[in-house]
Amino acid sequence: MDLNFSPEEERFRLEVREFFASHLPKDIQAKVLAGKRLSKEDYLRWHKILYEKRWVASAWPVKFGGPGWSVVQRHIFNEEYADAGAPVLPTFGLVMVAPVIMAFGNATQQQYFLPRILSGEDWWCQGYSEPGAGSDLASLQTRAERHGDHYIVNGQKTWNTMGHYADWIFCLVRTNLEARKQEGISFLLINMKTAGITVRPIIMLNGEHDIDEVWFENVKVPVDNLIGEENKGWTYAKFLLGHERTGIAGVGRSKHQLKLLKEIARGEVSGGRPLIEDQRFRDKIAQIELELMALEITNLRVISSERDQRAPGPEASILKIKGTEIHQAISELKMQAVGHYALPFPEEGMLESESHGEPTGHECAATQASYYFNMRKLSIYGGSNEIQKNIIAQMILGL
């Protein structure tokens, strides 16, 4: 296997790099590189720039408005994207529900929803987890009872990322109480502005408001918003989770964070004797880098299966486990590297400042505690890592 990029691929990398250098707004880049809080307007501004270039949906096929890139081009794009300090756009529309609509939605749904996702006109959030149905998602209790040409939805969803910004939510709902729990679930698209929906904030350990709980009280949803067949939602949910888990691997993001860790360890942030001279700390960095290289190759193998029109299978669970473990390990080493500078003023550290460019000094350190706490959730969402190990044992090892 030749692991070197071809001359054409290297030219593509240069094109992507030059585009980011000339089109990524400097104020947004500065926030990302310093770990500052981004607004919805920041995300939408960057989304529009990528949309005009036809680069906002790197994995979409041409017929739906995507660039039609190869697996390697997408990998290069994601690498350069992270390294440039571009904000990670919310994945719920572009990466998660869009492939489900493409694969299982009807023509009317595709024609309506996909262009609005692509342009950024509609923001989406996910309605999977419930207070009593997280890792055991099939135990969900949110009901959807059919009355003529509508469903009436009642229940609660939790750990809902960016629900306070969203225009739409894709939901797993129970439509058959008599069937086996996996067989009585349907996949509904629900307008967040519908009467009866209440969004309540959940403040995270790092003090940020990224997630919510969503309540449904007699919410009226058109039957036309049902994806595929009634009671077949579990099939579509697994398809979506495969795409989510592949994305969670975050090879490009981990590479960028590893690069920042090395800068900190060389003394750019903490000052004094460079931490990179400590043999034990240097060994920890080397171990993570080796694991990240192995993950990158595995990630390329998994996403290449999409060329054969196959959804990511149980191997996506491997990416989810290792990707989140590596990212968490990097965040832990960054916390060790900046030491007590990470502790003061976490709220002030997340706010916009006048600085621009690469993070330096204590300003960079001030956001590390928030980043560290935020990364704790990686091994839980998208299906906890413990559940992923069970999937690997059953579906790959046959245990």
Kindly state the DSSP code that residue 220 receives in the 8-state scheme. Answer: E
pLDDT at position 380 is 80
Lowest model confidence (mean pLDDT) among 55-69, 337-351, 373-387: 337-351
Place of tokens 């006048």: 354
For 358, the 3-state DSSP assignment is coil
pLDDT band at 2 (very low <50, low <70, confident <90, very high): low
Mean pLDDT of 298-304: 74
pLDDT at position 355 is 44
Mean pLDDT of 156-165: 93
Alpha carbon distance 144, 293 (integer Å): 45
Place of tokens 């299966």: 305
Residue 25 has pLDDT above 80, yes or no: yes
Task: For residue 362, give the nearest of 386, 385, 346, 378 by alpha carbon.
Answer: 346
The listed range with the strongest mean pLDDT (95-109, 121-135, 229-243, 299-313) is 95-109
User: The whole model's pTM is what?
Assistant: 0.82
Which amino acid would we find at residue 105? G
Label residue 150 exposed, middle or buried (CB < 10 Å: 0-12, 13-18, 19+). Answer: middle
- For each of the domains in the chain, give its residue range(s) and CATH number, in order of start: 7-89 (no CATH), 124-232 (2.40.110.10), 249-396 (1.20.140.10)
Task: For residue 174, give the nearest of 152, 196, 190, 159 by alpha carbon.
Answer: 152
Q: Long-range contact list for 76-82, CB < 8 A, 24+ apart?
A: 76/5, 76/9, 76/12, 76/13, 76/16, 77/16, 78/251, 78/252, 79/13, 79/251, 79/252, 79/255, 80/13, 80/16, 80/17, 80/20, 80/252, 81/16, 81/20, 81/252, 82/252, 82/253, 82/255, 82/256
Residue 359 has pLDDT above 70, yes or no: no
pLDDT digits (tens, 9 = 90+) for 217-273: 999 999 999 999 999 999 998 888 766 656 667 888 888 889 888 888 887 544 567
pLDDT digits (tens, 9 = 90+) for 55-71: 999 989 999 999 999 88
The helix-helix angle for 71-84 and 279-304 (nearest 10°) equals 140
Alpha carbon distance 338, 270 (integer Å): 6
pLDDT digits (tens, 9 = 90+) for 54-110: 999 998 999 999 999 988 898 899 999 999 999 999 999 999 999 999 999 999 999
pLDDT at position 267 is 76
Cβ(100)–Cβ(240) below 8 Å:
yes
Task: Return the H-helix or E-strand segment holding 83.
Answer: helix 71-84
**CA 19 to mean position of chain CA atoms:** 23
Percent of the chain with pLDDT over 90: 52
